Amino acid sequence: MVAPSKLLEPPLNRMHCAILHSLPGQSCTKALLWNLYRNHVSSAKYYSPLLLLPLLMNWRKMSKNMLLSVVKNYVQSVSFAAWINAITFYLICVGRRLNGRFVFIFIPYLPCWIASQLSWLMPPQVLHFFVTGTTPAALESLMRYFHFGLVHSPMAQTLIFMICSVIVLHYQQTRKYSGFWFIRPASLPDDNKDWTILGQVQQGLRELRSYLGIGLAMDLLNPLMRRNIKLLRPKMTSFLAGYIGLFKWSTIVGSHRSSQCKRDT
């Protein structure tokens, strides 16, 4: 695959659009059909957490309707992503044939915008997921293009991500936000302000145990599919446990200090 910026410079800008295709000798139409198949396979892997996380988090109260809803949402997300990507590359080929060379507006801005009009056909839940997932990626791409200093600082990116996470998780926990987020903490009961620190810690440990199980199940997926347990790397387990653990710790500390301040006043 050739970097898009290189295609605008001679002599690559005059080359056949076959340089964009995955297989040598493909026509644009054959590449479209091949990309549809390949994109469905890759999207199915990429969006697998969209299927696995709801099933693992709600396995105790899973019903037939809930299962069908989760699978339907997963299939629709995979299919829309595959079609948008395949149509984008196809329109890049069309632009190359119309102009006789690769031009800036067709690499890939106009094709991507046209292909993304499929979002008008998305169900509300799928559209919400795509907006939540793709908007930060689009903003990051723009910042990288204009060389913002933030994109070159992993520490700053991590800090911003954690601050945004705390805000989202807090409003989910207090039932003030119900939109998509890859982790959803348990809602706080109405009498949570009367809980002791021990009760809060016990509730946090129960939730942490749930995410440890979810992370382990996701980490086991790749070794089991390849039938090689040596490939097990507890990356998702450590991420989910650390993520929810830090949030619960900050919640307990904040609640304890808040109650102390109220007693002092």
Question: Do residues 54 and 72 touch, judged by C-beta distance below 8 A?
Answer: no
Residue with tokens 């809930």: 66
Question: Is 80 exceeded by the pLDDT of residue 115?
Answer: yes
pLDDT of residue 127: 85
pLDDT of residue 79: 92
pLDDT of residue 265: 61
Task: Tell me the C-alpha to C-alpha distance, in Å, between residue 105 and each of 7, 89, 109, 114, 135.
Answer: 12, 13, 6, 12, 21
CA 134/CA 257 separation, integer angstroms: 37
Question: Do residues 145 and 151 touch, judged by C-beta distance below 8 A?
Answer: no
Task: Tell me the C-alpha to C-alpha distance, in Å, between residue 177 and each of 78, 95, 124, 170.
Answer: 25, 43, 16, 9
Q: What angle do CA 247, 252, 257 make, to 5 degrees?
A: 125
Give Cβ neighbours of residue 140 (< 8 Å, ≥ 6 apart): 151
| 136-155 confidence digits (pLDDT tens) | 777 777 777 777 777 777 88
Question: Do residues 58 and 66 touch, judged by C-beta distance below 8 A?
Answer: yes
Task: Quote the tokens at residue 13.
Answer: 């800008």
Comparing C-alpha atoms, which of 178, 162, 158 is closest to residue 245? 162
| 204-257 confidence digits (pLDDT tens) | 888 888 778 778 877 887 788 777 887 788 888 888 888 888 888 877 777 767
CA 5/CA 107 separation, integer angstroms: 8
Question: Is 80 exceeded by the pLDDT of residue 41?
Answer: yes
Chain mean pLDDT for the chain? 77
Give the pLDDT mean for 128-135: 73
CA 237/CA 212 separation, integer angstroms: 6
Residue with tokens 């995410």: 211
pLDDT of residue 264: 60
Domain boundaries, the chain: 4-134, 157-257
Give the pLDDT mean for 36-41: 90
